[in-house]
Amino acid sequence: MNDSCVYLVGAGPGDPDLLTIKALRLIENADVIVYDRLVSDEIINLIPAGVAKIFVGKETGRHSLPQDDINKLLVNLAQVNETKGHRYIVRLKGGDPFIFGRGGEEAIVLARHGIKFEIVPGITSAMACAAYAGIPLTHRGLADGVHFITGHRRADLELEIDQGALRDKNCTLAVYMGLGNLQTIINAVLDAGRPSSTPVAVIEQGTTSQQRHLITELSNLMMDISDADISPPAMVVIGEVVSLAKILDWFQPVMEEDLQQSTA
């Protein structure tokens, strides 16, 4: 009897302290871990010695392993584990598996092959990165809702944005993976009627020791990102709540050189 299980686990945005207790327990007891590019080194370092690690990282325009092959890999691992008696196959994903994490696609494939699986939610990047930059995604009087928007489409197809999601000025826009199509996103937000002075935050490497963030306006966003040399992974937050960052910014990343000095 096959009692192995594939766990689709959200690793959160990078800070290992944001892992759920269940996620950490599965990482510590896994037989094999299949992980993404967005899983931080600090979390990878929690994997015990001897656990097989398989990197399947993806970024726009460059895939270590195409999604269809990742799906096949998970199925093959579960079938191999049936003969070896292994139990824990952990598919570790940055953020949350079901929010732009393609966890649903992988779970469907597992279900169709009769493979037992569990979903372990993680803290999604929009929530955590915004919080670590001092930005509440909703705030009374500024935003009564939030839209999660993807900044790119599968197979790098042309980006299409629902204007209806952009028009409500009382909703914050949280854009995942948006740097590659940023000008298109800016144009869409402006065309939807939001003013060019709308505050914007771009949070690079959010919640990690490498976190940087830029606060600007829609009209200056492209120039300011270029000047700051912001690169992926980065979360873009658009809306009046960004103005609270100047009051609520609390996170001071501890850089590696600072740690070395403190332990010297």
Domain ranges of the chain: 5-123, 126-248
- Give tens-digit pLDDT for 254-263: 655 444 444 4
Q: What mean pLDDT value characterizes the chain? A: 90
**What CATH number labels 126-248?**
3.30.950.10
The DSSP output letter for 114 is T
36 is catalytic: yes
pTM of the full predicted structure? Answer: 0.89
Integer Cα distance of 109 and 74 in angstroms: 9
Annotated active-site residue in 58, 72, 116, 169? 58
Q: What is the mean pLDDT of residues 187-215?
A: 96
Annotated active-site residue in 15, 36, 93, 96? 36
Q: Given pLDDT bands bounded at 50, 70 and 90, which one contains residue 126?
A: very high
Q: What is the mean pLDDT of residues 140-153?
A: 91
Q: What is the mean pLDDT of residues 145-171?
A: 81
Angular region, 239: left φ>0, alpha ψ -120 to 50, beta rest: left
Integer Cα distance of 104 and 119 in angstroms: 9
The answer on pLDDT for 195 being more than 70 is: yes
Q: Given pLDDT bands bounded at 50, 70 and 90, which one contains residue 70?
A: very high
Q: Which region among 49-58, 173-182, 216-225 has the lowest average model confidence (pLDDT)?
A: 49-58
What percent of the chain has pLDDT above 70? 88
The answer on pLDDT for 117 being more than 50 is: yes
pLDDT for 231 equals 94
5-123 with 126-248: one CATH topology? Answer: no
**What CATH number labels 5-123?**
3.40.1010.10
pLDDT for 86 equals 61
The answer on pLDDT for 148 being more than 60 is: yes
The answer on pLDDT for 213 being more than 60 is: yes
How buried is residue 51: exposed, middle or buried, by Cβ count under 10 Å (0-12/13-18/19+)?
middle
pLDDT for 193 equals 94
pLDDT for 76 equals 92
Q: Which region among 22-31, 80-89, 120-129, 239-248 has the lowest average model confidence (pLDDT)?
A: 80-89
Burial 252-264 (b: 16+ CB within 10 A, else e): ebeeeeeeeeeee
